[in-house]
Amino acid sequence: MYGLVNKAVQGLIAKEFGEEKWNEIKTKAGFEDEIFVSMQKYDDSITYNLVGAASEILNVSGENLLEAFGEYWVLYTAEEGYGEMLDMAGSTFVEFLGNLNNLHMRVGDVMPDLEPPSFDVETISECELRLYYSSKREGLNPMVLGLVKGLGKRFDVKDLSVVLEETNVEGEILKNTFKVSWGNNQA
């Protein structure tokens, strides 16, 4: 994944646990460069190793870390120069979820090696939808759960619930369904 993702992992860990823990985790993960470059593509294993090392050193499950990361990503990208891009993706929670593929397409114009997941939204009611998430990457459902919760905070959605309903494997692609529901307001 692009360095921006690893930089966000660093940002979250340094913020919550301090620089020293981050350096320990980076070393344990076997990453030897000084820094991550946002626009450089890194092997996915680096991100997975960072999460694995952080899980061991911090005594937090990988799932919890990934979920926290998802929430943090929405904040982080908004503050690290992608605010305008996020603004363009929608002015409501539901609109934003429906535009995730467009957002990734726009990022992909600048980052040609992006390997974006794909998302589809199916409306159930005024305050309920299904989010279909397809990816070639394994194990990232908790991150997507956190991403959706982070978006909920961004748009001030009340009483948000995100539940994984189903996961399937179709060849190389993992297909996952989340049920997303919220309080009876305009999300």
Q: Which residue stretches of the chain are H helix?
A: 3-17, 19-28, 44-58, 62-79, 83-88, 93-98, 100-110, 141-154
Kindly tell me which residue out of 7, 21, 38, 101 binds ligand 1MF, with binding defined by CB under 6 A: 38
Of 6-14, 47-55, 56-64, 143-151, the segment contacting ligand 1MF by CB under 6 A is 143-151
Q: Cβ of residue 1: shortest distance to ligand 1MF, in angstroms?
A: 4
Q: Please identify which residue in the block is written with the tokens 């946002």.
A: 38
SS3 state at 93:
helix
Does residue 141 interact with ligand 1MF by CB under 6 A?
no
CB closer to ligand 1MF out of 2 and 182: 2
Q: Give the DSSP H/E element, type plus range, for residue 168.
A: strand 161-170
Contact 150, 72 (CB under 8 A): yes
CB closer to ligand 1MF out of 29 and 103: 103
Binding site for ligand 1MF (CB under 6 A): 1-2, 4-5, 38-39, 74, 77, 82, 100, 103, 107, 110-111, 114-117, 135, 137, 140, 143, 147, 151
